[in-house]
Every structure is written in structure tokens, then in C-alpha cells.
Amino acid sequence: MALKSGDKYAAILEAAQTVIARQGYHSAQISKIAAEAGVAAGTVYLYFKNKPDLLVSLFRERLGMLIEGARTSLTDARDAREKLRHFISQHLRSLAARRELAVVTQIEMRQADSSVQHEISQIMKGYFRVIDEIIEEGQASGLFRRSVEPLQIRNLVFGTIDQTVTAWVLSGFKFDLEALAEPTFALITGGLCITSEGGTQKHGDSGAA
């Protein structure tokens, strides 16, 4: 077995993504994926242990790519605030350029059963780590408010961009996802409220953690 080395490994992953995006998670039989990849069904099992392994591998490979892109985008940002801006921008740009992948990650893969979901959760931790590092730096440098738990900040950041991409996919890609990067960044960092006493910013911060 050409352990991941052959082009067939990548071809099968690509075929899986295509078939899942096109036909939906529950219609993505191994036979269809194999046909899309131009190999026999049995060949899939030379490269993947079983179907869950194929799906998890697909997710891992693609998320790895996103993580790498995210980390790269952070290198030339001067502070946590800029890093967050780049991170959001990079996330939306990456998926805007990969509609098929967006359908798979936002919609179809979420239908996977619990065992696959559990693996996916583990893989997601790598992505969360990138966010968490930005948050930590931001709080340490005093740019980000310390009155809120880092985990809850992560929920804000990830929840918002995740929901944004999902809405974009469900809309049928009807709006410009990349263009949402800057407003979303402004919203997250500056807050929804305009007033000087926006949020409980002043008193909240002085009193807590």
C-alpha cells in the first residue's frame, strides 16, 4: 500500500468531498465515491480502513489546510487585534474559495454519527487552539477584555464565523462571504452597541477576573 503517498489517496479524498457536497452525506456511498475517483470500490480500502476513517481523514486533511492557512496569515500581524482580524478574514476567504468544502463542513459532515463526530471534535481542537492563542495574547497584552473567560470569547469568535459561513451556504452562496470579514471583525471587537458605555465595558472590566 502506498501509504498516503500515491495520488489515489488524494483523489479519493477529493472524490469524497465532491460526492458528499453533490449528493449529501447520507447518499455518499463508497461505490459512488470510488466511481468519482475513477477506482474500484475495493481500492478505497487499500487507502482507508473503513468509511468512517475516510470521512475523518477528509475532515482532518481539509481542516489541517485551514489551520495552516490561518497560522500563516497571523505571521505578519503586529498584535492580537490584528491577528484576530487576519484570522477572521482568512477563515471566510478560505471557505469562500471552496464552496464544495463549505457545504461538507457546515452542512453534510454534521450528519455523521457520533463516533465520527467525536473524532471531528478532537480535530477541531487544533483549530480552537489557534483562536485560543490569539485570545490569550490579547488578554495578556491588555487589548482584549479580561472580564470574560477565554472560552467564552472563543465561543463568540468561532460561533459567529461558523454561523456566518453556514448562513452563506444555506443561502445558496447568495452573498459575498469575504466582504463580511471586516464588519464581522468590527462587530466582535467593537461591540454591537454604539454608546460610550457600550456593553458593561467600564464597570464590568474593573470588577471581574
Cell of 11: 483523489
Sole binder of its own copies in the list 24, 36, 41, 53 (CB under 8 A): 24
The sign of the CA dihedral 152, 166, 133, 74 is: negative
CB neighbours of residue 190 within 10 Å = 11
- Cβ atoms of 30 and 44 closer than 8 Å: yes
Cell of 129: 487552539
Task: Compare residues 114 and 196 and give the one whose CB is closer to DNA.
Answer: 114
- The stretch near its own copies (CB under 8 A) out of 2-10, 36-44, 50-58, 199-207 is 199-207
- Supply the minimum distance, in Å, between the C-beta of residue 10 and its own copies: 25
Residues 47-106 that bind DNA (CB under 7 A): 50-52
Task: Compare residues 69 and 199 and give the one whose CB is closer to its own copies.
Answer: 199
Using CB under 7 A as the criterion, what x/- string covers residues 23-52 for binding DNA?
Answer: ---xxxxxx-------xxxxxxxx---xxx
Q: What, of its own copies, DNA, none, does residue 141 touch, CB below 5 to 8 Å by kind? A: none
Cell of 115: 463516533
Q: What residues contact residue 100 under an 8 Å CB cut-off, 6+ apart?
A: 17, 18, 21
- Supply the minimum distance, in Å, between the C-beta of residue 18 and its own copies: 16
The sign of the CA dihedral 27, 31, 35, 39 is: positive
- Supply the minimum distance, in Å, between the C-beta of residue 196 and its own copies: 8
- Determine the Cα–Cα distance for residues 90 and 69; give it in Å rounded to an integer: 7
Applying CB under 7 A, the residues found at the interface with DNA are 1-2, 6, 8, 26-31, 39-46, 50-52
